[in-house]
Amino acid sequence: MVTLDGSTLTIDALARVAGDGEPVGLSPEAVARITASRAVVERHAAAGTPVYGINTGFGALADVAIPDDALATLQVNLVRSHAAGVGEPLPVPAVRALMALRANVLARGHSGIRLETVQALVAMLNAGVHPRVPARGSVGASGDLAPLAHLALVVIGEGHAWHHGAGRPPDGVPADAPLGGGEALARAGLAPVALEAKEGLALINGTQATTAVLALAVVAAERLARAADVAAALSTDALRGSWHPFEARIHEARPVPGQVAAAANLHALLQGSAINASHAGCGKVQDAYALRCAPQVHGAAREAMAFARRLAGLEANAATDNPMIFADAGDIVSGGNFHGAPVGLAADTLAIGLAQLATISERRTDRLLTSHESGLPAFLVRDSGLNSGLMMAHVTAAALASELKTLAHPASVDTIPTSAGREDHVSMSMGAANKAARAVALAEHVVAIEVIAACQALDLLAPLATSAPLESVRREVRRHVPTLVTDRPPAPDIDAVVGLIRSGAIARATQAELR
């Protein structure tokens, strides 16, 4: 079980909750903070003094006073009115991450929500009640209001959700139609919550949708980075390139951590290759940048991932509500921690790094398929002409690499006023996170195509053998994708290798401690 205390949730633990179905629970300290925070809200509500989020309207309606007998209705109306999301729903793992993150924020004790409401959210997550949360509708202003409102609807027995039960959840968006929120809760043996003062706002005010999507994209991107190093090593050997540009002394002279790590991986993977030994003294002075500069480019992408991980990790344990409750002083203070600028910038940076990883991969694939560069049959198939080989697989890689360039255009530099001008600078963080998630998926396919091409090239170089780690990768790929002898549709092969990348099987097959 992952314990939520508002300060120690890691991105890796979040990924286990999201993808593996690991349950969560509140720490005793979190329970105490939530209880103390709620007492402050109840005192202020009883006093009748206007306090934003408790007895006033919201956003541009903050100056409208709400009578005491309508405070619960105010919170329900808030949730209903803000559930304005559109488009395809977030995948189930992202929804689970969203739920865990929101519970973790509430565990900090700055939101003023009742303990039983937080416990209801935790119970939903552990019982596999997964709300249908549309991916679009947030500008990252007062946080991700629309996505979180769709989550909150199910908490009160409305909206729509799937009930998958405890254990490993589906990987994507379920194909079956969701249930009504109340029915999904009932199937899990849970009851809806009747909201009280400030609780609707406590459920929907924050950046957790952005952070959920970003955090899972970071984990997938880091896994892809290791696979990209393996792909680059396969291609370097298949193109009879040199391993000397990966020597540690070169990279110690420019000690960018990501670059040093990528170079170490490439160097280790290429040692002991008979292919490499066969062209010793060939007279070639330098390899193309796509080979020689792989550590520099892969390393820059890794630095982007590290930046995104740091910001996502901070945000996972940050109080992003408004107004914030400070139980030690008994104060309720309005601020702007809900603004998504930090995570929006992190998501955009991640997308830029992924574009770098994919574009250099596509260049290596192109060299593998070009006979005067590779010294191998055109498009890596015998009887070229009768067979087109991997020609169109490369075209797909080029198409995806080009699309990645458009996704790398930052969303967080944009802003558009909302809420009658009250929210006059917004972050577009959710759009940035959605782009980053899409970028990971496209880059995985680009690298998968390189792996397929490089393994095919190694087959054509037989009986010369590559290094032991790379040969192990080639064998793992061949368990799922046979050597191409005559033309067949490449799409199933690409999907199979993407699956190997996503599961980590490509990196594990090296039997090396990749960094």
239-258 CB burial, b ≥16 within 10 A, e <16: bbbbbebbeeebbeeeebeb
**Residue 165 backbone dihedrals phi, psi, to 5 degrees:** 80, 175
At residue 54, the pLDDT reads 80
State how far the Cα of 214 lies from the Cα of 90, in Å rounded to an integer.
12
Residue 130 backbone class (left: φ over 0; alpha: ψ -120 to 50; beta: rest): beta
- Extract the runs of DSSP E, i.e. beta strands, from 129-193: 129-131, 134-136, 160-163, 179-180
Which of 340, 358, 341, 360 lies closest to 407 in space, CA to CA?
358
Query: Which residues carry out catalysis?
Result: 52
Distance CA 289, CA 232 (A): 12
The pLDDT value recorded for residue 270 is: 95
Which pLDDT belongs to residue 60?
65
* Residue 494 amino acid letter: I
CB 50, CB 65: distance < 8 Å: yes
Res 469: pLDDT: 96
Single out the residue of 237, 186, 220, 266 nearest to residue 444, CA to CA: 220
Strands 331-333 and 324-326: antiparallel
Which amino acid, residue 182? G
Task: For residue 25, list its beta bridge partners.
Answer: 3
Output the tens digit of pLDDT for each of the chain's 515 residues: 999 999 999 999 999 999 999 999 999 999 999 999 999 999 888 887 777 778 877 766 767 787 877 888 889 999 999 999 999 999 999 999 999 999 999 999 999 999 999 999 999 999 999 999 999 999 998 889 999 999 999 999 999 999 999 999 999 999 999 999 999 999 999 999 999 989 999 999 999 999 999 999 999 999 999 999 999 999 999 999 999 999 999 999 999 999 999 999 999 999 999 888 887 766 676 889 999 999 999 999 999 999 999 999 999 999 999 899 999 999 989 889 899 999 999 999 999 999 999 999 999 999 999 999 888 999 999 998 999 999 999 999 999 999 999 999 999 999 888 888 888 888 899 999 999 999 999 999 999 999 999 999 999 999 999 999 999 999 999 999 999 999 999 999 999 999 999 999 999 999 888 88
Give the tokens for residue 230: 């393996």
User: For the chain, how long is the longest CA-to-CA vector?
Assistant: 87
Contact 265/237 with Cβ under 8 angstroms?
no
Question: What CA–CA distance (Å, rounded) separates 337 from 409?
Answer: 25
DSSP lists the bridge partners of residue 141 as 143
Rounded CA-CA distance 370/196 in Å is 67
Q: Strand pairing partners for 478?
A: none
- Residue 285 confidence (pLDDT): 61
Q: Where are the alpha helices (DSSP H) in 176-284?
A: 181-187, 199-204, 208-238, 248-252, 257-270, 274-278
pTM listed for this prediction = 0.94
> Quick one: pLDDT at residue 283?
62
CA 437 vs. chain centroid, Å, equals 5
Amino acid at 179: L
Query: What is residue 484's predicted lDDT score, i.e. its pLDDT?
Result: 96
Number of residues written out for the chain: 515
Query: Distance between CA 340 and CA 103 in Å, rounded?
Result: 18
